[in-house]
Amino acid sequence: MKVPNLGRLHSLPLILGFSISQTFAQGLFPLQVGDSWKYTVYYLNQTPPATVPYTFRIERDTIMPNGRTFSVLDNPDMFGERYLRCDSTYLYCWEYRAYDTTWHERRLFNLRADTGAVDTINWGGYRTAAASGITMDTVFSQVTNVQKFQLSGLLFASISTSQRFGYLLFEYWADMPEIQQVWVLDGCVISDTTYGSVTSASGLPQRPSALTLYPNYPNPFNPSTRIRYTLPVSTHVTLVIYDILGQEVIRLVDNTESVGMHEVTWNGISRNGQAVASGLYFYRLTTPTASLVRKMNLSR
């Protein structure tokens, strides 16, 4: 897979360093109420590549039915998650489980993993997470422990996480041979301290500077959900729902649309007029120059 030269895109204040032993204090991922993150998202599958600002913050904590306290994000993160927690080893999310129609805690990343360690995560379109090993890096002039994971399965991506700053860098391939998106951390507010640049930016940009596909809402959903996307130019658009096997369920949009924000509702019905079963689905937005994919859960 071809990874772009990020130095041409953005100056990320991260200097790769040397391997260190796994001597961590508690708190491998910042998750305090009020913590916030600002990213620049580079859409590399467009000509020319486009950029969009994106932010999310922790607005509150909540106790889930399993008795664990999760942090609640005001906007979904790059994986579409809004509920996160971290213990002395793992990062977790709170997600809907389609096969028994319940919510549960999903273990995501082993932040202490050794180099080459591979976890089976079966999370959305990702089956495994392979760790690169812990390094001591410099981010925003601060020394911090960093771990990188290669995600594989139906979708492909990589994510770098920092003990001090959270998600640093996200590279997303979807199921394409070339990289589709890069999320670069511009700045953050952690424990009331500001690092980098955190000039205001909405989770949903006000002007369509790039083709953007937003997380559907609600998610999980029953019986219907809304899908929003923005177009930077007037163009032909298709919006298609696929099941987990990659089979087309229904084509919601297939026409030329104008510049701006658009919204489509899907009521869980297939192209044959039949109600589809509970489970994980993917929705793909495609134009002549780009293609974006996200996941959703239907709960009946």
> What local confidence, expressed as pLDDT, does residue 240 receive?
96
pLDDT of residue 1: 32
The pLDDT value recorded for residue 207 is 46
**pLDDT higher than threshold 50 for residue 26:** no
Q: Cα dihedral angle (32, 38, 44, 49), rounded to 10 degrees? A: 170
Report cis status (omega within 30 of 0) of the bond before 53. no
CATH number of 212-298: 2.60.40.4070
Rounded average pLDDT over 74-78: 90
Burial of 292 (0-12, 13-18, 19+ CB in 10 A): buried
Number of Cβ within 10 Å of residue 185's Cβ equals 26
pLDDT for residue 98: 56
Residue 300 C-alpha from the chain's centroid: 25
- Which residue in this structure is represented by tokens 């640093």? 168
User: What 3-state class would DSSP assign to 7?
Assistant: helix
**Average pLDDT score over residue span 278-297:** 90
State the pLDDT at residue 150.
94
Tell me the two tokens of residue 269. 């019905």
**Distance of alpha carbon 198 from alpha carbon 173, whole angstroms:** 27
What percent of the chain lies above the pLDDT cut of 70?
A: 85
C-alpha torsion angle, residues 90, 93, 98, 104 (rounded to 10): 80
DSSP 117-154: -EEEEEETTEEEEEE---EEEEETTEEEEEEEEEEEES
Q: Which two tokens stand for residue 237?
A: 């658009």
Q: What's the confidence (pLDDT) of residue 120?
A: 95
Task: Give the model confidence (pLDDT) of 124-138 as tens digits.
Answer: 789 999 999 898 888
Give per-residue pLDDT as tens, 202-231. Answer: 444 444 567 888 888 788 888 888 898 888
Q: How many CB atoms lie within 10 A of CB 219?
A: 20
In the chain, the amino acid numbered 149 is F
pLDDT band at 148 (very low <50, low <70, confident <90, very high): very high
Tokens of 267: 């009521």
Of the candidates 111, 81, 77, the one whose C-alpha atom is nearest the C-alpha of residue 93 is 81
Residue 69's DSSP bridge partners are 63
Distance CA 202, CA 129 (A): 30
- Domain ranges, ordered by start, for the chain: 6-196, 212-298
Q: Report the pLDDT averaged over residues 35-57.
A: 85
Question: Tokens standing for 218?
Answer: 């609600």
